[in-house]
Chain A
Amino acid sequence: MRNRPRKIIPLLAAGLLAVTACSGGPSTPTGPAPSQGQSQGAPADADPNQLPRGETLYTTGTQWGPPANFNPIREWDSAVGTKGLVYESLFHYDTTAAKLTPWLAESGSWTDDTTYEIKLRPGIKWSDGQPFTAKDVVFSFELGKMETIPYHNLWNWLQKAEAVDDQTARFTFSTANYQEWDFMLYTRTMVPEHIWKDRSEKEVLDGINENPVGTGAYKFLSKDQDRVTLQRRDDWWGKTALNMEPKPRYIVDIATPSNEVAMGLLLQKGLDLSNNFLPGVANLVQGNFGLTTYYNEPPYMLSANTAWLVPNTAKKPMDDPAFRKALASSIDVKKIVEGVYGNLVKAASPTGLLPQWDKYVDQDVVAKSGFAFDAAKAKKLLADAGYKDGDGDGYVENKDGSKISLSLIVPSGWTDWMESARSIAASAKAAGIQITPDFPDFNALVEKRGKGDFDLVINNERQLSNSPYTYYEYLFQLPIQKQQNTVNFGRYENKKAWDLVQQLDQVKTDDTAGMQKIISQLQQIHLDDLPVIPLWYNGLWAQSSTSVWKNWPAEAGSAPKTPAVMWRNWLELGGFETLTQIQPAAS
């Protein structure tokens, strides 16, 4: 990428030198290039100003702008790798085997129904040389006692966290929410008490946390407007304890550019892993461009979350389950999958549970109560429920004869969703339901969604996790607030369902049968009432170039099965493990 034009450059440079000189030029921008910590671990042969291509992994698709902070508490907008590469969690979660993998913790177990004890691996040190102890673990969880910390809620059912000794931490619960606790174990990052202990709540939540000190395999080397660069720590504890080593010595994460540019970078071999949605990439995967994805045929990607159509159940006629079911049958998801996504996504099963959760799907319930696209059936369902087209305009009316005219909102500029919304409107029209796609800006949409001031909305804000519990929590959470900010946007109220979800939370995570039993009931309620209509599984967008790194995760052969992804909160779900499995293409 940078070698070919060497001859041209000096010519251009000569001509343009005067100009840049007089304009001040892009004089070494911002880059505070943290020089501290460079002393340790940096190999002598490395030229920190020019990263060797063969040892560097270029990624994109996570960060959308200049790196704003290195604060692991801000797990939604901290610089790529802050959580997962620099700061680590006690466990990782293996999505394939569906179990926790000990990480900073050597083991963890319930000593009784409400007590959990964690043994830490010995010899782990923070990057500043201080030992990592159980006190750090306790400190990290206790940060959640601050009201604005995202996991503050944990303390509603966690009673006490204490360090028994340097290697042992004990948690005592008032209510043992086993499912949620497992989630906590692999999502919460450990921060060093000796550095964080004097920070105020504002600093913990909003601090930039320049020069982060973590336990992880990487440290930040530099940052700029459009990138962060991480450098591998060769004294990382996992090298011996886990017998693992991430292969890239450097990781450069590029602030996600437009699709066009990202694709250009991939084709120029300047990018190794793109985690953004690249429409049409299927063509490139099948062409001879040196690009791979997890599957080499549709849907190409693993699934990461479910996109739902969320009807506002507090409004007519969406408050009628029969209407919702008719609506569900009217939508031709296949057309969206093929037309809009070019088969990069997969149609969802009626339950909407991700394929990774297949074992929790009760096929009998699905067979009995599931739905599928069937315009005729949709029409029949409508007619049976009393929605008829009285005025002959091709659209059905409410039972009282008033017009039904629903608007489906998706954020303006989200092109794939906008196209999907158009497609949904078109297929609903065939069944006689009038839907108008509407594209307010994201802000306005969030406000309408929160207040329940909408008819239909598309949403996908729940990722794959250790348990369908998180999925059903999204669906059924009660009580309904004036403002529904993150879950149950459709304002669906079903006390029984919410009770079941809470029960599910308290089932031990190894009790698969117990989970299945409750989940089966939840599925029945979901399919009977359809508070949300599952549409398709959004992909775990990952397209990799094989020009510099090979052995990318793939379904076929002996390739790794972990997700190849740098997304926030996904490094613990196998993203990090992928880094240890890829190989330099040259070898």
Chain B
Amino acid sequence: MRRYFGRKLLIYGLTFFVAVTVNWMIPRFMPGDPVASMVARANVTKPEAVEAMRAYYNNLFGLDQPLLTQYANFWGALLRGDFGTSIWLFPTPVSQVIGGAVPYTLALVVPSVLLSWVVGNQFGAYAARRKLLDNTVLPVGYVLTAMPYMWLAVLLAWALGVIAGLFPVAGGYSFSMRPNLSWTFFLDLLHHWTLPFLSLFLVALGGWAIGMRNMIIYELESDYSTYLSALGAPARLIRRYAFRNAVLPQITGLALQLGVLVAGALVTEIVFAYPGLGSLILKAIQNKDFFLLQGAFLFIVLGVLIANFIIDIVYVVVDPRTRAGMAGAQA
């Protein structure tokens, strides 16, 4: 058990290291000079003032130091939780900018991932080997999972937001509201959250349903299912076993898909002007704010790594085979 988690942690550690290094490396080899573009945006009229500002910022961001020092400083700052200062939202620290966006992204990603997983699995399991459902409803699943997230999102925003007027098309909560602890405010949050959630949920739902449908068919055709049928066990029991066993690869699938789902959330946020990481990343790209971009990237990597680790733990708890394997009890 210790060895298993030790290995996993090593991999995650290495991954983080690679991510950080890549993160540090890329902007330093890219064309263009972020300080120059920032200063240009400042729209300062006089050349002398520009030079002063430029030197000042170069110094501030540490771009005038040797590369190795910059790299060491980068790690040092990172370990202190300091992601640097946003260029675009100067002088707000990146961690603060991200901190403001993260609750929204989490509120979008976590429920949509978990709910779509649960509902999709139930649905796929239910449809499998039931001819009518399999041939009518499941094709919808294929269509959903093949949809580009943003396409569905835009269509939803347009149809349910602009045309039907049922939902707002932008923002994390009404622009007329101020955050407060009240039922009204909570409902308002929920109201704004619904469409982005829905578009993420639907696309992911289709994928899980199809995956589960296929998995469970394998399980239903497996030897233990056949054996149970031969012993006259009711379909209910067999399906229950099959579901339980088919869920295991779906858990692995969840880990594999996490990155994709987060990415989907980012794009969806952009469509709904939802004030999460996605909108932030888009703006960071448009404004060449590489400190912010790096921060957001690292945050996502960290989030995905943590989620992966949680999934690892869950998997070990749920699948006796891994546990048995780790205990080395091979009789």
A residues apposed to B, CB below 8 Å? 1-2, 4-5, 8-10, 12-13, 16, 19-20, 22-31, 33, 48-53, 56, 58, 64-66, 68-69, 74, 76-77, 147-150, 152-153, 205-208, 221-222, 224-227, 229, 252, 254-255, 257-258, 260-261, 264-265, 267-268, 270, 413, 440-447, 450, 461, 473, 481, 483-487
User: What sequence of 0s and 1s flags, for each residue 41-83 of chain B, a beta carbon within 8 Å of any chain A beta carbon?
Assistant: 1111111111011001000000000000000000000000000
B100 on the A face (CB < 8 A): yes
Q: How far is the CB of B155 from chain A (nearest CB, A)?
A: 11
- The 7 closest A-B CB pairs, nearest first, are A443-B32, A225-B275, A257-B273, A68-B89, A153-B46, A444-B32, A23-B110
Q: Is the CB of B172 within 8 A of A29?
A: yes
Query: Which segment, of B101-109, B128-136, B322-330, faces chain A?
Result: B101-109
B165 / chain A contacts, CB cutoff of 8 Å: 1, 4-5, 268
Q: Is the CB of B191 within 8 A of A5?
A: yes
Q: Is the CB of B190 within 8 A of A12?
A: yes
A77 to B162, CA, bound (A): 31
B230 on the A face (CB < 8 A): no
Q: Provided the pairs A258-B270, A447-B31 are in contact, do residues A264 and B158 lie with their beta carbons within 8 angstroms? A: yes
User: What sequence of 0s and 1s flags, for each residue 165-198 of chain B, a beta carbon within 8 Å of any chain A beta carbon?
Assistant: 1111111111111111110111111110110010
Q: Is the CB of A226 within 8 A of B273?
A: yes
B39 on the A face (CB < 8 A): yes
Which A-chain residue is minimally distant from B187 (CB atoms)? A9
User: With A16-B197, A264-B162 given, can you name 7 additional A-B contacts, CB distance below 8 Å?
Assistant: A2-B168, A19-B111, A24-B106, A25-B107, A77-B41, A442-B32, A446-B36
**A443 interface neighbour in B33, B173, B188, Cβ under 8 Å:** B33
Q: Provided the pairs A268-B162, A481-B47 are in contact, do residues A50 and B92 lie with their beta carbons within 8 angstroms? A: no
Query: Which segment, of B1-9, B202-210, B280-288, B303-311, faces chain A?
Result: B280-288
A30 / chain B contacts, CB cutoff of 8 Å: 99-100
Q: Is the CB of A27 within 8 A of B103?
A: yes
Q: Is the CB of B275 within 8 A of A23?
A: no
A9 to B188, CA, bound (A): 9
Q: Is the CB of A31 within 8 A of B178?
A: yes
B95 / chain A contacts, CB cutoff of 8 Å: none
Which B-chain residue is minimally distant from A180 (CB atoms)? B45
Q: How far is the CB of B41 from chain A (nearest CB, A)?
A: 6
Q: Provided the pairs A5-B191, A25-B189, A224-B172 are in contact, do residues A77 and B90 lie with their beta carbons within 8 angstroms? A: yes
A31 to B280, CA, bound (A): 17
User: Chain B contact residues: over half helix, strand or loop, or mixed?
Assistant: helix
A446 to B187, CA, bound (A): 45
> Which of A2, A208, A481, A484 counts the most chain B CB atoms within 10 A?
A2
A74 to B42, CA, bound (A): 8
Q: Provided the pairs A4-B166, A9-B191, A229-B178 are in contact, do residues A65 and B37 lie with their beta carbons within 8 angstroms? A: no
B317 on the A face (CB < 8 A): no
Q: Provided the pairs A150-B42, A150-B44 are in contact, do residues A254 and B97 lie with their beta carbons within 8 angstroms? A: no
B residues apposed to A, CB below 8 Å? 30-34, 36-37, 39-50, 52-53, 56, 86, 88-92, 97, 99-101, 103-104, 106-107, 110-111, 114-115, 154, 157-158, 161-162, 165-182, 184-191, 193-194, 197, 270-273, 275, 279-280, 283, 286-288
Q: How far is the CB of A411 from chain B (nearest CB, A)?
A: 9
Q: Could you list 26 examples of A-B contacts with CB < 8 Å?
A: A4-B165, A9-B187, A12-B190, A12-B194, A13-B190, A16-B194, A26-B172, A29-B100, A29-B172, A65-B287, A68-B90, A69-B91, A152-B52, A226-B170, A254-B170, A257-B273, A260-B157, A261-B157, A265-B169, A268-B161, A270-B170, A440-B32, A443-B37, A446-B32, A446-B33, A483-B47
A52 / chain B contacts, CB cutoff of 8 Å: 176
Which B-chain residue is minimally distant from A474 (CB atoms)? B45
B88 / chain A contacts, CB cutoff of 8 Å: 65, 68, 77
A77 to B271, CA, bound (A): 24
**A65 interface neighbour in B39, B167, B174, B283, Cβ under 8 Å:** B283
Which B-chain residue is minimally distant from A65 (CB atoms)? B283
B110 / chain A contacts, CB cutoff of 8 Å: 23-24
Which A-chain residue is minimally distant from B43 (CB atoms)? A76
Q: How far is the CB of A491 from chain B (nearest CB, A)?
A: 13
Q: How far is the CB of A48 from chain B (nearest CB, A)?
A: 6
A56 to B175, CA, bound (A): 10
